[in-house]
């Protein structure tokens, strides 16, 4: 909650108060993958991380958003989780894919709304208060990007952080 409020602040230029630096996108993804693997030794994590793609970003905040997406994938699926880095013209996409419970078409547009949790997530007793995706959205938007969610009920979810790249 505090981080979301902090991101709502702006500096003299009208931008959020980020600690920007040039950082390889692969480095952010690898750090998130290492954290996930240490905390979830029994859970398989498939990595698809090509080299390249430099961001002008607050690496700690972007990694925090990825950590959150990976944690959601762990909570709402029992199988393998995939972390994929896609390098495209002018942008980098961090994709987190699971084969879990998914989300209904009615619930999908509400994901990322503060305090919203799907009926299936409440039934599983996964914890949380429904702020994780909201925070991810605020983090990526503060970097000039966007959060894209796609899902099929019973078949899994893909959460994508799209961030502008400088190289």
Cβ neighbours of residue 52 under 8 Å, at least 6 residues apart?
A: 24, 25, 26, 87, 167
Least confident piece of the model among 7-11, 61-65, 144-148, 160-164: 7-11
Give the pLDDT band (50/70/90) at residue 84: very high
Q: Which pLDDT tens digit goes with each residue over 101-133? A: 888 867 756 665 554 455 544 444 455 545 678
Judge contact between 123 and 107, C-beta under 8 A. no
Q: Does domain 18-164 have CATH number 1.10.357.140?
A: no
pTM of the model: 0.82
**Dist CA 155 CA 167 (whole Å):** 35
Instruction: Please report, for the chain, the start and end positions of each structural domain, with discontinuous segments joined by +.
Output: 18-164
């Amino acid at each position: 909650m505090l981080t979301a409020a902090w991101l709502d602040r702006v500096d003299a230029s009208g931008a959020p108060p980020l600690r920007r630096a040039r950082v390889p996108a692969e480095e952010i993804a690898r750090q998130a993958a290492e954290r996930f693997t240490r905390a979830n030794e029994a859970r398989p994590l498939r990595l698809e991380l090509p080299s390249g793609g430099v961001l002008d970003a607050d690496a700690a905040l972007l990694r925090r958003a990825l950590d959150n997406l990976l944690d959601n994938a762990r909570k709402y699926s029992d199988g393998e989780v995939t972390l994929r880095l896609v390098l495209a013209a002018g942008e980098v996409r961090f994709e987190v894919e699971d084969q879990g419970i998914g989300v209904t078409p009615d619930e999908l547009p509400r994901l990322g709304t503060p305090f919203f949790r799907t009926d299936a997530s409440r039934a599983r007793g996964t914890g949380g208060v429904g702020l994780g995706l909201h925070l991810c959205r605020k983090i990526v938007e503060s970097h000039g990007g966007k959060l894209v969610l796609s899902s099929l009920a019973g078949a899994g979810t893909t959460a994508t952080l799209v961030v502008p790249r400088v190289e």
